[in-house]
């Protein structure tokens, strides 16, 4: 048992931190106050320079142009990048591209990789992921209406999707659709498809207004219609009927990325909290830091963040060594989302009216990371996954008890 | 002891509720998704029609053109209007105008009332309130840098203010400024002034970006510079040196308005929560309402809201009968703000991704009402006020113990 | 709407409070430290003197020897008595006798009343209530194994019960038993019986060790066996098959008594908290009251208690006017139990090590009132009752969704 | 970075766990229901057999008869022993003896070690620690009234102490007393003494009634008077004036022991929670485990425990490598105490009425471990220590801001 990061990780984190402070942080307040707007253009040279650190696309193997980090190392890096709202984007390590790259890398054919993976890893194009449907609860992954019918050599996709992050401006969509809606095994009904967004019948209906902004580009969530989109037979990603399995395989490391990013958000929020407590005076010579309540928020945040951080690292370490741990990933997903929300709330309270403004990144995180307890499975689903696993050794089968 | 509303109140609430559902609700989602934009124009005819209910400007006496309600009745009405983000605005019962009208009514000279009160009550002009300064903690009401110097017949105002709600478009600003910064009694140092916003040297520097939006018009928070603004000697509102006293007198009923509005927000959020739980299915025939966690959120919200509502009503009732109750107002200020935040959080979680969107008013409230625990005194200040009052009978004088 | 207590209630509360401080409080610490022991004997003269206040057995009509208070008045009195662990016992207003008296009064025959009700009202005998069974979840009121078989003129009772409060020393047990276990309507399967505790086959197996003490007399919880106890045909209380209905009718006002007692416990805990904060010094001249955290606990407790108190009073007032309100009673049951636990926890923390001792009543309440969230239906059951009622207008029938 | 326990630790934990289940668990319910009573006698042979495991007195070096574990290993062992209320006692690894042995080992003279350390390590005698005084807040370590005056070759001790754990039956008391009450440095005023409990003038006034029990023997908390107790000059432990320093050095590893014990308590509580959820039925075929609320408690407990456990291990590991980390120890002290209280509360709720009884160890822990947030420094003190350390890099000196 040893909890220290390796020298390699220490160096990598220092490099990433310095880069973010110098190159990324200057843009973060404009993101908070004005949304995405012209950031794509302004971030392009930053991303070019990020390649120079050797940490660009850290989740991809070197042979595909990435930094080839193990999952534990990715988590340790993600924490540092997470301190800045644009950190992951700068390093091409942001959702939904990360998950899509991982999917294509793991399941794609050589042709699919050549067409989509290279440009994605180099940050030349963006992608989106079409799974959730407005008519169905996102927490039930086997219930959807979008279908893909085999028509000769082609597939015909029809459906209605939403909350497709970064659909606006994406070149390719990974689409989940029912290929065998009557299959006895509900987990074998769907398949995944790689759909060019310029296909006929593919329509981005709107960018959904989320927390006050419809958003643009990478920072948007699209609602889409597939009005009978035709894709060739080889547009299937992975096996036909393997959609659910791929979705799971995509979400699990993806959750590690999110969760370790949240640890970074928390650390930044705690830093801002301490800074504000030190600088803001209630009366001349009486800094906010002298308030016991503020001291307690700092201490409680510190404890929650540090404990959560270790839990995330242990999970990444286990997956690196032994492969999938669905219940461990669920455990950190809901736990860290809760820590995140509490820490952000305290940081805002310490900042008072300033915390409500976009003069710090706190308000941006406060409104957008409320989704942390919702997306990629709400808290309630992940708690059930953990409970199911915990109760199994006691002879309980939750699925048999009316579990969704 | 009797907890039932009078017949008059029952009728008044029904009238207001029906008006809001028919006239106000259609605009609320555009407010949430697009901000104020062209709402001033679209709300003008709605406000005209609201006058027909006899409930317009309910807090003002009939002789000044208001509905002349007692504070308890105002609270009961406010709860209904609070169910809609534009409810109070429609009835000219919204901050900061309400507090400013009350101030001018209570302390204004006949000339001041004629010039400003009439147009405000009739909703012809808007006003703003300049108190908080970026350099000083808003929670310390006696520490500010804005000064008003007597220069012959005039006052010369210099200073820097922010979080002046609705400054954009206001015709008049009520300005708090130090008139005797060295007075031994810190509570006698400041005075209030009525400053026309077209005065020379009065500058609206920016609408502060708050939770992602700089806002416009009534839905904005201004940062202002007073570059040596000259106002005549009779621009003082109330006695010279009475600024702190007026501020307190303004805030206390104002907090009742806010707090009873929050009860309305909570009730609407609970309604939306139940509605969503009933309609949304996790799987065919399995509504969200069947989830125990959702049921518990509904029950807990119901209990917290109903208990808080009674506490608010009791406070209004006490003030109607016996005058000021600073600690009672502080008690409901922090308590109901906490209930509000918890209820909104649960309502969003029940809505899942939909809760993040602006397709319901929940996300609007979630981001803007985070300020409920901050403005008009943060939780921490109000808790101290309550504790100070509670501990007095035990022989403790908190002021003597280094209290701010 | 008017929230003030009547003059009659004010006088009654003052009388009860003075009596408790003078007569009851001296015994409360011996209860906490030593348990019931010889308290029955020492409390006997106190109870005699309590009769002199005219408030003895306040829940019973005057013609049966009680004080004949309405439910709202009972709640207002209960709050005062609740400030002392022995307050309700002193006034013969304590569980389980209160509920048993109410049952017999409502449903008993003239003979049953003569035999049992008179002595109970006069405090000459005690009673117990046998419902919960160790083999079955107490939260499912229609699932039990105890049976009563008709044998000619008699009933033969067999079964195993526990958590029969005050069974030790009781003269009569109200026993819930299945009389028609196969009845289609599960709510019509059980009946209630009045069983003398000296009946053959009635065995008090043990006083269950609860929170460190097996207890004695009134302060005990018995486990009992009914080894074929024979009672005459007229031992049925109320109609045959009416057991569930009677149990509900017993529990609902009973919960008002408990809940308003908890409000009293909270008020006492808050008083002790303030007292300790004022007296205890962290260093010379620096009372604990100067700590912001302590101030916040005091303020938060005050808000929660006062809001909860109003909710309880409103519920009692509604029942007095309109009869049963099952969901309102459930609402206050779980809500006030939560407030109680939080307030006691804070009060102990303010007392530090002293809070762990039996030198204040806090530790007694801390351990015994943990059951507030369990007995008479755990929180979870009451939340479901509230949710069921809240969701009905939205077209949801929770019973149809697999509700217990 | 590697989170796995060493093979040695795995083996050690298995050994300890099996021993506890077989030898210690059978006594735990009698402890809960009857208190210490005759357990000293019954545990004597168990302790003898525990020596056979090689893990007896694990915190002491082998040359003094202990198992010589590093602090990290002690924490890993403590977690297993903590699953049983008598686990630490069985292995002579329980407060207050552990801390006293560590003190004597670190600071004692050869003669002191020979007289006291050997018998303590072998479990032949017990000790107590006299620090807290009823007149002074325990959270202020430099404020006490007990004095030790030099009188020729002797010291004369006078004072009043309480919460001296296990004073009843102890052979030796480690006593903190002021030797230079006027010293300019408040941290240099006190010294520690080794006082035989059969000294003249040493009086155990009472075992304090704590949570319903005065307790006996090891499970008691004494109030003591030192009526001019005379001890020889060489009874000082460590340097004269070093009392505060020794107290700190005693408390810090001691807190690691407590905190890792609490992790064990939590794990056991979670195990009992799962077991009860699996076994208890709400209706035939409907185990409690099917309730979503119960599932969520299990999942939340799992997350909190596992995260807390890693935080504790990291702290022990840091201390093993780099020595003292006062703020890290404070961090886990308050954080894990909070987790403990929440987990126990949930476990009791899952057990319902059974959770209130002494038929599981939960009620014992519920009442006695409430002190976890109080003893060895209340939460509030430890949070301040953490905040002070966190705020230092931001230029804040909390001591200068009126910190205690």
- What tens digit of pLDDT does each residue of A133-179 get? 999 887 777 889 999 999 999 999 999 999 999 999 999 999 999 99
Q: In chain C, which residue's Cα lies nearest the Cα of B328?
A: C303
Whether the CB of C404 is below 8 Å from some CB of chain B: the reply is no
Residue-wise pLDDT for B321-331, tens only, equals 988 788 999 99
CB atoms near residue D68 (< 10 Å) = 15
Residue-wise pLDDT for A29-45, tens only, equals 889 888 888 899 999 99
Q: Which of A172-181, B170-179, C319-328, C385-394 has the lowest mean pLDDT?
A: C319-328
CB contact under 8 A, D356 and C348: no
Q: Which of C366-375, D242-251, D338-347 has the lowest mean pLDDT?
A: D242-251
Q: CA-to-CA distance for B257 and B246, rounded, in angstroms?
A: 17
Distance of CA A297 to the CA centre of its chain: 27
- Which of C298, C310, C386 is the closest to B387 by Cβ? C298
Most B CBs within 10 Å: which of D277, D293, D298, as the mutation test of the B interface? D293
Assign a CATH topology to domain D251-401: Butyryl-CoA Dehydrogenase, subunit A; domain 3 (1.20.140)
Give which of D81, D121, D86 is closest to D101, Cα–Cα: D121
On whether the CB atoms of residues B332 and B253 are closer than 8 A, the answer is: no
On whether the CB atoms of residues D371 and D364 are closer than 8 A, the answer is: no
Average pLDDT, chain C: 94
φ/ψ of C93, rounded to 5, equals: -130, 30
% residues pLDDT > 90 (chain C) = 87
- Which of D287, D311, D388 is the closest to A310 by Cβ? D311
**Model pLDDT, residue A263:** 98
Binning chain B into helix, strand and coil, the percentages to the nearest 5 are 55, 15, 30
Give which of C129, C6, C11, C108 is closest to C60, Cα–Cα: C108
CB contact under 8 A, C313 and B1: yes
- Which of D293, D296, D402 is the closest to B402 by Cβ? D402
Q: Report if pTM > 0.95.
A: yes
- The pairing of strands D127-130 and D172-178 is parallel
CB contact under 8 A, A293 and C291: no
Residue-wise pLDDT for D150-174, tens only, equals 999 999 999 999 999 999 999 999 9
**Model pLDDT, residue D402:** 60
Distance from CA of D287 to the nearest CA of B (A): 15
Take residue A56 and report the two structure tokens written for it: 């660009």
Q: In chain A, which residue's Cα lies nearest the Cα of D294?
A: A387
* CATH classification number, C127-243, choose in 2.30.29.30, 2.40.37.10, 2.40.110.10, 1.10.8.60: 2.40.110.10
Give which of A309, A98, A19 is closest to D1, Cα–Cα: A309
- Which overall architecture, per CATH, does domain A247-401 show? Up-down Bundle (1.20)
Residue-wise pLDDT for C350-399, tens only, equals 999 999 999 999 999 999 999 999 998 999 999 999 999 999 999 999 88
Neighbours of chain B (3+ CB pairs under 8 A): A, C, D
Whether the CB of C283 is below 8 Å from some CB of chain B: the reply is no
Total count of residues recorded for chain C: 404
CB contact under 8 A, A299 and D390: yes
Give which of C63, C139, C140, C147 is closest to C105, Cα–Cα: C63
Distance from CA of A288 to the nearest CA of C (A): 13
- Domain A7-121 matching CATH 1.10.540.10: the answer reads yes
- DSSP of D308-369: HHHHHHHHHHHHHHH---HHHHHHHHHHHHHHHHHHHHHHHHHHTHHHHBTTSTHHHHHHHG
CB contact under 8 A, D293 and B292: yes
Range(s) for CATH 1.20.140.10 in chain C?
A: 245-401
Residue-wise pLDDT for C222-244, tens only, equals 999 999 999 999 999 999 999 99
Average pLDDT, chain A: 94
Chain C residues touching B267 at Cβ < 8 A:
none
On whether the CB atoms of residues D314 and D355 are closer than 8 A, the answer is: no
Residue A70 DSSP one-character state: -
Q: Which of A34-38, B296-300, C8-12, D84-88 has the lowest mean pLDDT?
A: A34-38
**Model pLDDT, residue B51:** 96
- DSSP of C39-51: HHHHHHHHHHHHH
Whether the CB of C299 is below 8 Å from some CB of chain D: the reply is no
Residue-wise pLDDT for D126-142, tens only, equals 999 999 999 988 777 78
Range(s) for CATH 1.10.540.10 in chain C?
A: 7-121
On whether the CB atoms of residues B139 and B148 are closer than 8 A, the answer is: no
On whether the CB atoms of residues D130 and D175 are closer than 8 A, the answer is: yes
Most A CBs within 10 Å: which of B140, B143, B211, B215, as the mutation test of the A interface? B211
Range(s) for CATH 2.40.110.10 in chain B?
A: 127-242
Q: In chain D, which residue's Cα lies nearest the Cα of B292?
A: D292
On whether the CB atoms of residues A77 and A257 are closer than 8 A, the answer is: no
Q: CA-to-CA distance for A310 and A326, rounded, in angstroms?
A: 18
- The pairing of strands A281-283 and B286-287 is unpaired
Q: CA-to-CA distance for B119 and B121, rounded, in angstroms?
A: 6
Q: How many CB pairs under 8 A join C and D?
A: 140
**Model pLDDT, residue D403:** 57
From residue C317, alpha-carbon distances to B263, C5, D58 in Å are 22, 12, 63
Whether the CB of D70 is below 8 Å from some CB of chain A: the reply is no
3-state secondary structure of B396: coil
Residue-wise pLDDT for D286-330, tens only, equals 999 999 999 999 999 999 999 999 999 999 999 999 887 889 999
Restricting to C residues 102-141, those with a Cβ less than 8 Å away from any Cβ of B are none
* CATH classification number, B127-242, choose in 3.30.70.380, 2.40.110.10, 3.20.20.140, 3.40.50.2300: 2.40.110.10
Take residue D342 and report the two structure tokens written for it: 């929440």
Instruction: For residue B402, name the pLDDT band (cuts at 50, 70, 90).
Output: low
Q: CA-to-CA distance for D115 and D79, rounded, in angstroms?
A: 31
Give which of B258, B236, B226, B204 is closest to B368, Cα–Cα: B258
CB contact under 8 A, B299 and C387: yes
- The pairing of strands C172-178 and C127-130 is parallel
Give which of B177, B31, B138, B14 is closest to B94, Cα–Cα: B31
Instruction: For residue A404, name the pLDDT band (cuts at 50, 70, 90).
Output: very low
For domain A127-244, the CATH superfamily is: Butyryl-CoA Dehydrogenase, subunit A, domain 2 (2.40.110.10)
Q: CA-to-CA distance for C169 and B90, rounded, in angstroms?
A: 67
CB contact under 8 A, B3 and C317: yes
Take residue D118 and report the two structure tokens written for it: 């050997």
On whether the CB atoms of residues C204 and C224 are closer than 8 A, the answer is: yes
- Which of D300, D308, D383 is the closest to A299 by Cβ? D383
From residue B41, alpha-carbon distances to B36, B127, B128, B291 in Å are 10, 17, 19, 44
Most A CBs within 10 Å: which of D77, D394, D395, D400, as the mutation test of the A interface? D394
Residue-wise pLDDT for D58-84, tens only, equals 999 999 999 999 999 999 999 999 999
% residues pLDDT > 70 (chain A) = 99
Distance from CA of D383 to the nearest CA of A (A): 5
Whether the CB of A308 is below 8 Å from some CB of chain D: the reply is yes
Higher-pLDDT residue of D1 and C301 is: C301
Name, in order, each residue with C-beta under 8 angstroms of B47's C-beta and a sequence gap of 6 or more.
Answer: B56, B89, B90, B91, B92, B123
- The pairing of strands D202-207 and D219-232 is antiparallel
Range A216-222 average pLDDT: 96
From residue C145, alpha-carbon distances to A70, C134, C142, C180, C250 in Å are 59, 10, 10, 11, 21
Q: In chain C, which residue's Cα lies nearest the Cα of B298?
A: C387
Residue-wise pLDDT for D10-44, tens only, equals 999 999 999 999 999 999 988 988 888 889 999 99
CB contact under 8 A, D373 and C143: no
- Domain B245-401 matching CATH 1.20.140.10: the answer reads yes
Whether the CB of D380 is below 8 Å from some CB of chain A: the reply is yes
CB contact under 8 A, A292 and D386: no
Peptide bond preceding C96 in cis form (omega within 30 of 0): yes
Chain B residues touching A355 at Cβ < 8 A:
374
Distance from CA of B292 to the nearest CA of C (A): 8
Chain B residues touching C396 at Cβ < 8 A:
277-278, 287, 289
């Amino acid at each position: 048992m040893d909890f220290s990061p390796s020298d390699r990780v220490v160096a990598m984190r220092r490099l990433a931190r310095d880069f973010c402070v110098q190159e990324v942080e200057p843009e973060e307040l404009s993101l908070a106050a004005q949304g995405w707007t012209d950031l794509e253009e302004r971030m392009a040279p930053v991303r070019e320079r990020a390649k120079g650190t050797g940490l660009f696309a850290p989740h991809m193997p070197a042979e595909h142009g990435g930094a080839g980090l193990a999952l534990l190392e990715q988590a340790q890096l993600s924490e540092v990048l997470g301190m800045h709202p644009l950190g992951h984007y700068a390093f091409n390590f942001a959702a939904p591209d990360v998950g899509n790259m991982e999917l294509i890398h793991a399941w794609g054919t050589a042709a699919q990789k050549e067409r989509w993976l290279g440009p994605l890893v180099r940050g030349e194009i963006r992608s989106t992921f079409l799974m959730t449907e407005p008519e169905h609860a996102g927490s039930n992954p086997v219930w959807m209406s979008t279908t893909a019918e085999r028509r000769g050599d082609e597939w015909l996709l029809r459906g209605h999707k939403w909350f497709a992050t970064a659909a606006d401006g994406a070149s390719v969509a990974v689409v989940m659709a029912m290929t065998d809606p009557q299959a006895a095994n509900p987990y074998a009904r769907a398949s995944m498809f790689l759909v060019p967004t310029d296909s006929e019948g593919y329509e981005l209906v709107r960018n959904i207004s989320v927390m006050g902004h419809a958003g643009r580009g990478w920072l948007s969530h699209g609602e889409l219609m597939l009005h009978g989109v035709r894709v060739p037979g080889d547009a299937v990603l992975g096996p036909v009927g393997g959609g659910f399995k791929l979705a799971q395989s995509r979400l699990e490391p993806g959750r590690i990325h999110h969760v370790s990013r949240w640890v970074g958000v928390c650390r930044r929020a705690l830093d801002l909290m301490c800074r504000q407590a030190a600088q803001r005076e209630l009366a001349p010579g009486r800094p906010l830091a002298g308030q016991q309540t503020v001291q307690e928020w700092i201490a409680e945040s510190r404890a929650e963040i540090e404990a959560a951080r270790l839990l995330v690292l242990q999970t990444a370490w286990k997956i690196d060594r032994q492969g999938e741990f669905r219940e461990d990933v669920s455990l950190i997903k809901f736990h860290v989302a809760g820590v995140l929300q509490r820490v952000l709330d305290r940081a805002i309270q310490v900042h008072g009216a300033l915390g409500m403004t976009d003069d710090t990144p706190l308000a941006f995180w406060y409104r957008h990371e409320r989704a942390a307890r919702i997306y990629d499975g709400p808290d309630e689903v992940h708690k059930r996954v953990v409970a199911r696993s915990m109760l199994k050794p006691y002879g309980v089968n939750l699925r048999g008890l009316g579990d969704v």
